[in-house]
């Protein structure tokens, strides 16, 4: 499995500046052909590094409630459920999970009414897991993802270990899986076939 090179990082940097940038323009910047850039972008998507192409809105031009950052203190057993629910909730733009049992989310709410938002979003038993919260009203928010100084970090679909340059790939039913070694590849393929046969 090939690791990322300087051209991959430059393509990522150019796409984070403008996700609609034409491949022709990227190709000129990295000294490749447009089809080569397209192939590299497809590979970055298969690796899960590029998950989607998004829109960066200037919220100051839109009216949609008060921009806030909310810090939730949560019982440890409910952190992931609360994070996952928030990530799927309309109006929540970013969700962050800390190493301790806290979740932060950025949103725009009418009148910054966090209590009503939490009551409407979570079932009562989940709501009880939120032990405290703090709200900060934001005046602006910028998001600038950085790709410099990073490296490829793919985990094995079988054992969860990091996949090195010598890792294996396996395509099953159109999906690409990354495995750290031939043994994991064989185990994963056998498990996949068993599950598919029993489905």
Task: Please enumerate in sequence order all residues whose Cβ is within 8 A of that of 183, keeping only pairs 6 or more positions apart, or say none.
Answer: none
| 151-177 mean pLDDT | 83
CB pairs under 8 A, 24+ apart, for 54-57? 54/19, 55/19, 56/143
Summarised one tens digit per residue, pLDDT across range 74-123 is 999 999 999 999 998 888 888 999 988 999 999 888 777 888 999 999 99
Domain ranges of the chain: 1-56, 59-137, 153-199
Rounded to whole angstroms, the Cα distance separating 64 from 56 reads 15
* Overall CATH class of domain 59-137: alpha beta
CATH of domain 1-56: 1.10.10.10
Rounded to whole angstroms, the Cα distance separating 193 from 182 reads 16
The DSSP code sequence of 16-64 is HH-TT--HHHHHHHHTS-HHHHHHHHHHHHHTTS---------GGGS--
> Residue 27 — very low, low, confident or very high, per pLDDT cuts 50/70/90?
very high
> Residue 143 — very low, low, confident or very high, per pLDDT cuts 50/70/90?
low
> Residue 23 — very low, low, confident or very high, per pLDDT cuts 50/70/90?
very high
CATH of domain 153-199: 2.30.170
For the cut 80, the answer to whether the pLDDT of residue 165 exceeds it is no
Q: Helix (H) and strand (E) counts for the chain?
A: 7, 6
Q: Which residue has the higher pLDDT, 103 or 4?
A: 103
Rounded to whole angstroms, the Cα distance separating 103 from 192 reads 34
> Residue 59 — very low, low, confident or very high, per pLDDT cuts 50/70/90?
low
21-25, 51-55, 63-67: which has the minimum mean pLDDT?
63-67
Residue 181 burial (CB count, 10 A): 17
Query: How does the average pLDDT of the chain come out, rounded?
Result: 85
Length of the chain: 199
- The reply to whether 1-56 and 59-137 are identical in fold is no
> Residue 130 — very low, low, confident or very high, per pLDDT cuts 50/70/90?
very high
Q: Among 160, 199, 151, 196, which Cα is nearest to 178's?
A: 160
| 47-59 mean pLDDT | 72
The DSSP code sequence of 56-107 is ---GGGS--SEEEEEEEEE-GGGHHHHHHHHHTSTTEEEEEE-SSSEEEEEE
């Amino acid at each position: 499995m090939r690791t990322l090179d300087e051209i991959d990082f430059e393509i990522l940097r150019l796409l984070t500046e403008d996700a609609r940038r034409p491949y022709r323009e990227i190709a000129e910047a990295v000294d490749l052909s447009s089809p080569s850039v397209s192939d590299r972008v497809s590979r970055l998507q298969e690796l899960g590094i590029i998950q989607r192409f998004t829109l960066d809105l200037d919220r100051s031009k839109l009216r949609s409630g008060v921009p806030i950052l909310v810090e939730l203190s949560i019982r440890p057993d409910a952190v992931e459920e609360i994070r996952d629910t928030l990530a799927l909730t309309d109006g929540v733009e970013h969700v962050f999970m800390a190493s301790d049992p806290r979740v932060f989310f950025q949103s725009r709410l009418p009148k910054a009414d966090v209590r009503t938002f939490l009551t409407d979003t979570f079932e009562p038993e989940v709501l009880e897991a939120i032990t405290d919260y703090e709200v900060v009203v934001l005046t602006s928010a910028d998001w600038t993802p950085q790709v410099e100084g990073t490296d490829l970090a793919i985990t094995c679909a079988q054992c969860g270990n990091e996949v090195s340059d010598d890792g294996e790939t396996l395509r099953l039913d159109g999906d690409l899986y990354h495995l750290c070694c031939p043994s994991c590849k064989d185990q994963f393929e056998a498990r996949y076939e068993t599950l598919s046969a029993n489905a």
